[in-house]
Structure 1
Amino acid sequence: MTRPFLKMNGLGNDFVVVDARQTAFSPALDQVRAWGDRASGIGFDQLISIEGSQDGDAFMRVWNSDGSPVETCGNALRCVAWVLNPDASDKTLKIDTLGGPTKARVLRADAKTGTASVDMGRPRLDWREIPLSEDMDTLRLELKVGPYDAPLYHTPCAVSMGNPHCVFFVEDVSKVDVAATGSLIENHPLFPEGVNVEFVQVIDRDTLRMRVWERGAGITRACGTGACATLVATARRGLSNRAATVIMDGGPLHVAWAENDHVVMTGPVEVEFSGELS
């Protein structure tokens, strides 16, 4: 049996998207890994299944390229919104995820591209919500990388946007060894469920430069929930306004932490090609 799919991306963060609203889709771990392999398979950061929802327009299920399930994915939510509303009609979509419900609007759409906005809900800032393995101030984690008396990176901020994030503040993000540090922190005992790791350089109060190591996927060109977590972290530290452009390797994403405590991101969607999974 084969399953049709769309290969899509949001700012270079790429996905294989399967519409499973009519027929169940339950791939085995080794299948996900095989499809996700960029050398021998299709290649993607995450595999996305669009499923039915009793009280929403759809449920989005996510697997990382290593086969591990993940709670949610911001860039993928924009892609799913485009699939659900390719005509960009004036409506708000409710898309449920393991990380909680979200609301999305497609602002522009054509045959291959679009722009969508997603309300990711409120950031979760309590240590139990991240989660952490011990009670700690999530604004300034007691965490260091490198020599104790001269750490390379230290005192990050922790935020959950439906999935856990650890945000380090750096002077020059281009000099960060994202793979080495990200892989180290991803499986740190402080994060019992693993963690996504962001490195942010504050350009000005309206512009942030961020690079990311995604849990279960490694370095990606962009991370929507990571951009949201980064904006929340810098705003909490007083380093940025509550709305800013977060520039990632794949391009810019606009993120706003609204007065109702919800975080809203707006950015592009692209369809690369279609195919069939065997």
Structure 2
Amino acid sequence: MSETMTLVTSEKGRRTLRPRPAGGAGDAARRTRRVLLYAALIIAAAAMLTPFFWMVMSSLKSANGVFSVPVRWLPEVFVWSNYVDIWQNSGILTWTRNTLVLSVGVTALQVLTGSFAAYGFSRIRFPGRDALFLLYIATIAVPWQSYMIPQFIMLSDWNLANTLWSILLLQTFSAFGVFLMKQFYETIPEELSEAGRLDGLSEYGIWWRIMVPLTVPAIASLSLLTFVNTWNDYLGPLIYLRDPSLWTLQLGLFNFASNQYDPNYGVLFAGLTISVLPIAIVFLLGQRFFVEGIATSGMKG
């Protein structure tokens, strides 16, 4: 077994490597800190997963067993029929389809517009570029509630209210997406773009053939964040989508619970569990790219 070496400087200035004594106080302190860190991480993970666990278990309880006192974490009898009831007695299939259309559509549009605008801000030099970029990024600080009424009037005048197009148009552009992609573009050497220009590529060709393939982690991060935000959006569909055939999952589940005199919360929690599963699957599949994209988007090469 190889020993841990340490660098020792003698009185004459000579440096030599000597074996480090094993089992010292320093090693014990490091092991203690590591154990405490792992324990804190386990506690934090359990705290975040507890609501999800309670939701899944509640989806398998009877109507009277969800809010029983004292709280029962596990159902006495697993009521699997809750999932059949929510599927048959509600429009969850329509809600899921509408939510999926909006989430995929908004994600594709934001990735396209965000990456393209970010390329212009990071690679194209024009007067007022930096000031325009700062002004555009400053819109992140403006709450949507301050201008949602003028937006609604504008889309109503265009006869786009109560259509899925209203949500798609509202979320086509994202200042955060432009910022994220621009930070990642700046980590790519300028020499690659110059080589593309020497080979006769246009700016569109450089963006598509050079920049986009090199920014897969950033695109994955932006896609994941946009998909999750659109999937969980409630206020936008509440304002614009009045037709029940256009409701999303969040809007449909809320109306499913509020329109019943005595709602079956076991069935409702089954619908909530179904609505969370796609997000969990997408996050698990894109977790590696998400972490890599977030970690490198703020670094300059």
**TM-score interval for Structure 1 and Structure 2 normalised by the shorter chain:** under 0.3
Judging by fraction of residues, say which structure has more helix.
2
Structure number, greater radius of gyration:
2
Q: TM-score, normalised by structure 1?
A: 0.23
Judging by fraction of residues, say which structure has more strand.
1
Q: TM-score, normalised by structure 2?
A: 0.22
